[in-house]
Amino acid sequence: MPATFNDLVTLMTRLRSPTGCPWDREQTYATLAPMLLEEAYEAFEAVEEAREGRPADLRDELGDLLFQIVFYAQVAGERGDFNINDVTDAVHAKMVRRHPHVFGDASAETATEVLRSWEAIKAEEKKANQPDGATPTSILDGVSTKVPALMEAHQLSTKAARVGFDWEKLEDIFAKVQEEISELLDAINTHANSKSEADHTRVREEVGDLLFAVTNIARHLQVEPEAALKLTNRKFRQRFGHIEDSLQARDQSFDSATLEQLESLWQEAKKAAGADGRRHET
């Protein structure tokens, strides 16, 4: 019979027991943190594999991520903080509370209505849990400052859009991108003439503004920008690998290759990708 969630919890208890695994017994909140992050990213990347018809990797990575959650809950239980049942009970109660259109009398006909209701309920929860006299929280507080900047930008704009702060049309965002490009070019020209640190700081800020605007295009197109950029990074690795392999086959170094030769090899890599049905323009 397939192993169940309870079997996994039992296994974790055994690993942490005096007769279990010495390495597992040594782990703490702090030592597990990097592994939790690593497994989350590996699961994130495996989503693309599943989209391309290879779901086994996603299955395995979700299992690894689930194991980390059970691991944390076991450590927490030993410390007297909480246990895995507390974790599942808390998230179950939260999901029921935040879906009143399913488990209550509220109505929501569209995904947009659901998300706005979700944010309103979260705001009420935060308000209820605040001590008297505490500074009001922002709807953006739920976005971690520790996630990658591209992911943070996507989540920030998503949060703002749920309460109505958003562009109405995709064309408006493209206009914003053009505006940011113009401001960046102006900042670059100013810095080229002055060479000042202040003007270089402005260039950095304008690059950030441009990237933020582009993430909003992705959001309006329902594209997760971190996943999209990961896909492009993977394409770049593959195509650059083709250049390296080709140069090695010719016993040629990058120093001796011209830019025209490198570009020709890059185009070869693109054509090879197109031949097996995975052509993407970059």
Determine contact, residues 108/117, Cβ cutoff 8 Å: yes
Residues 114 and 189 in one domain: no
| Region at 143 (left for phi over 0; alpha for psi -120 to 50; beta for the rest) | beta
CA-CA-CA-CA torsion for 93, 97, 101, 102, nearest 10 degrees?
Answer: 10
- pLDDT value, residue 216: 97
The domain that contains 165 carries what CATH number? Answer: 1.10.287.1080
Query: 194 and 248, same structural domain?
Result: no
What pLDDT is recorded for position 275?
60
Q: How many domains does the chain have?
A: 4
pLDDT at residue 134, rounded to an integer: 67
Q: Is residue 176 part of a domain?
A: yes
Query: In the structure encoding, which two tokens stand for residue 12, read together?
Result: 């974790």
pLDDT recorded at residue 136: 65
What domain range includes position 133? Answer: 104-137
**Final residue of a structural domain among 220, 235, 264:** 220
- Residue 125 resides in a domain: yes
Same domain, 14 and 87: yes
What was the pLDDT predicted at 30?
93
The owner of tokens 């070869």 is: 268
Residues 83 and 45 grouped into a single domain? yes
The answer to whether residue 19 sits within a structural domain is yes
- Within-domain flag for 280: no
Spell 94-116 as b/e; 16+ CB within 10 A means b: eeeebbeeeeeeeebeeeeebbb
- Same domain as 18, residue 89: yes
**181 and 114 inside one domain:** no
Helix (H) or strand (E) holding 193: helix 170-194
Same-domain check for residues 174 and 214: yes
Return d(Cα 121, Cα 64) in angstroms, integer: 32
Closest by CA position to 210, among listed 165, 130, 149: 149
- Note whether 175 and 236 are within 8 A (CB): no
Both 23 and 87 in one domain: the answer is yes
Q: What Å distances lie between residue 113 and 98, 159, 175, CA to CA?
A: 12, 13, 27
> First CA to last CA across the chain, in angstroms?
48
Asked if residue 194 and residue 236 are part of one domain, the reply reads: no
Domain match, 189 and 237 both: no
Asked, for residue 144, whether it belongs to a domain, the answer is no
| pLDDT attached to residue 4 | 97
Tens digits of pLDDT across the chain (282 residues): 899 999 999 999 999 999 999 999 999 999 999 899 899 989 988 988 888 888 999 999 999 999 999 999 999 999 999 999 999 999 999 999 999 999 999 999 999 899 889 888 988 888 787 777 666 678 888 888 888 899 999 999 999 998 889 999 999 999 999 999 999 999 999 999 999 999 999 999 999 999 999 999 999 999 999 889 988 998 999 999 999 999 999 999 999 999 999 999 999 999 987 765 443 444
pLDDT at res. 103: 95
**Same domain, yes or no, for 20 and 65?**
yes
- The answer to whether residue 270 sits within a structural domain is yes
Q: Tell me which residue of 203, 245, 228, 242 sits closest to 280, measured CA to CA.
A: 228
Cα torsion angle, 32, 38, 43, 49, sign = negative
DSSP symbols for 99-137:
-HHHHSS----SHHHHHHHHHHHHHHHHHHHSPTTPPPP
Residues 110 and 78 both lie in one domain: no
